[in-house]
């Protein structure tokens, strides 16, 4: 397949390349040049091609809780609303909830997710059906005394679901839901299963202060004492990272994930994005769940994240458009390990196609700025993953959207009536 007359964003160098041909073979970009020949080609002169996004922190199975309980403090929201609702979820619920999240992700230009939830087998099945890639974290905690059972379930999930495109990992929920010994167990087990952990870190001031009061040290300092800085860590939120902690993680495989909309909505605070980027740390971006966001639009995260940091840092040149776009593309690929995140030869053909004829791209001045500041999800017309279109003209080709919405509404009604 050849994408003719293509315009694309080179996120690594922060520039737009225009009127070239991109050749795709066996799911990868094999050539970029002029006047390439082939039997199968698509005219892309009216599209802007952007590396498909990585949602580096989400909870796909929580879509049934979208708009269920808003305007509460995080701990109250979790304890009074979310955890009681989750206790009623069945495997069927989580399958359809995850499938809704998967098609929402595709319609928002996402090719890969880093997920944290319970039923990894349901999520893996959904990823394979819809065609998205996943780093699927088995959500783990032991405050209810069931930690050992969850670790055994993880092993089963890994053996049944781990693959090249759906990588199953351990995901201890947080330091306040996991005991020190359990966190150490997760770390030891991870050495047999991929050497990577996904965990919430310093999401709230309460979490930060409680850690200092209980352990006499900050969350990252505490994690270092139990060995967590000696392995690859995908660390969601990191709102209250201190300057000392940033120095501690700068040369580690510690990947913070910025969740601007969820952190704003839950009044969690502001991740020190500029300080993290200045320290040359690979920062990703995520949506968190559709129950706390309340959407899975990485594009919205890009836009809000860029604008908020200008206000925080009192500088309109702070965290510029291509910097924040990298979080969702090439930085995301470094977090997942998938060979995507850029339009270049050798990369997997995971691509998002924006409509250059839309109002949001008119006039065609700074196209990188347009993606970050004016584009909407409706401008994303097509999505390609591994060289195959999973969405064309806003229609997801790999799933029945109407059936999914019907099933999610039906199952949510059952839970609300129970």
Mean pLDDT of 61-87: 89
Does the pLDDT value for residue 25 go beyond 90? yes
Dump pLDDT digits (tens) for 337-378. Answer: 999 999 999 999 999 999 999 999 999 999 999 999 999 999
Q: Where in the chain is the domain with CATH 2.30.40.10?
A: 2-51+340-396
Q: What does pTM read for this prediction?
A: 0.97
Share of the chain above pLDDT 70, in %: 100
Mean pLDDT of 297-307: 97
- The pLDDT-based confidence of 77 (bands split at 50, 70, 90) is confident
Spatial CA neighbour of 257 closest among 298, 216, 313: 298
Helix-then-strand count for the chain, H and E: 16, 17
Dump pLDDT digits (tens) for 133-177. Answer: 999 999 999 999 999 999 999 999 999 999 999 999 999 999 999
pLDDT at 73 (0 to 100): 82
Q: How far is CA 94 from CA 78, 100, 115, 399, in A?
A: 18, 10, 13, 16
Q: Where in the chain is the domain with CATH 3.20.20.140?
A: 53-336
Does the pLDDT value for residue 74 go beyond 90? no
Q: Which residue is listed with tokens 């939830």?
A: 117
Query: Taken in order 340, 114, 219, 152, is the CA torsion positive or negative?
Result: negative
Q: Cα(339)–Cα(350) distance, rounded to whole angstroms? A: 9
Q: What is the average pLDDT value for the chain, to the nearest integer?
A: 96
Phi, psi dihedrals of residue 25, rounded to the nearest 5° = -145, 135
Residue 52 is given by DSSP the state P
Partner residues linked to 354 by β-bridges: 48, 380
CATH architecture of 2-51+340-396: Roll (2.30)
Query: In the CATH hierarchy, which fold is given to the domain comprising 53-336?
Result: TIM Barrel (3.20.20)
Partner residues linked to 50 by β-bridges: 352
Dump pLDDT digits (tens) for 206-258. Answer: 999 999 999 999 999 999 999 999 999 999 999 999 999 999 999 999 999 99
């Amino acid at each position: 397949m050849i994408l003719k007359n293509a315009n694309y964003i080179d996120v690594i160098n922060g520039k737009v390349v225009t009127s070239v041909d991109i050749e795709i073979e066996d799911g990868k970009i094999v050539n970029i040049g002029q006047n390439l020949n082939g039997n199968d080609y698509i005219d892309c002169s009216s599209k802007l091609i952007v590396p498909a996004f990585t949602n580096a922190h989400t909870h796909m199975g929580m879509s049934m809780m979208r708009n269920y309980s808003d305007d509460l403090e995080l701990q109250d929201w979790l304890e009074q609303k979310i955890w009681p609702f989750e206790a009623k979820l069945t495997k069927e619920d989580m399958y359809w909830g995850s499938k809704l999240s998967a098609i929402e992700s595709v319609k928002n230009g996402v090719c890969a997710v880093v997920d944290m939830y319970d039923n990894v087998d349901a999520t893996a099945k959904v990823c394979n059906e819809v065609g998205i890639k996943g780093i699927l974290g088995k959500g783990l905690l032991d405050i209810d005394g069931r930690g050992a059972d969850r670790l055994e379930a993880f092993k089963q999930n890994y053996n049944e679901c781990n693959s090249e495109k759906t990588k199953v990992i351990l995901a201890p929920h947080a330091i306040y839901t996991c005991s020190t010994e359990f966190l150490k167990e997760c770390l030891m087990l991870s050495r047999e299963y991929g050497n990577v952990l996904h965990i919430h870190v310093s999401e709230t001031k309460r979490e930060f202060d409680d850690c200092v009061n209980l352990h006499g040290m900050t969350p990252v300092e505490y994690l270092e004492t139990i060995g967590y800085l000696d392995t690859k860590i995908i660390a969601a939120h990191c709102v209250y990272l201190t300057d000392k902690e940033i120095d501690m993680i700068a040369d580690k495989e510690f990947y913070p994930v910025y969740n601007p909309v969820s952190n704003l909505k839950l009044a969690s605070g502001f991740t020190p994005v500029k300080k993290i980027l200045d320290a040359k740390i690979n920062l990703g971006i995520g949506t968190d769940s559709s129950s706390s966001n309340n959407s899975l639009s990485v594009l919205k995260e890009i836009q809000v994240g860029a604008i908020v940091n200008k206000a925080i840092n009192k500088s309109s040149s702070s965290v510029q458009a291509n910097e924040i776009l990298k979080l969702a593309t090439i930085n995301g690929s470094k977090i997942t390990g998938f060979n995507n995140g850029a339009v270049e030869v050798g990369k997997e053909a995971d691509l998002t196609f924006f409509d250059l004829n839309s109002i949001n791209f008119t006039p065609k001045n700074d196209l990188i700025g347009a993606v970050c500041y004016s584009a909407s999800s409706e401008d994303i017309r097509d999505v390609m993953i591994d060289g195959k279109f999973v969405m064309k003209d806003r229609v997801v080709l790999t799933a029945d959207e109407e059936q999914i919405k019907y099933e999610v509404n039906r199952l949510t009604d059952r839970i609300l009536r129970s």
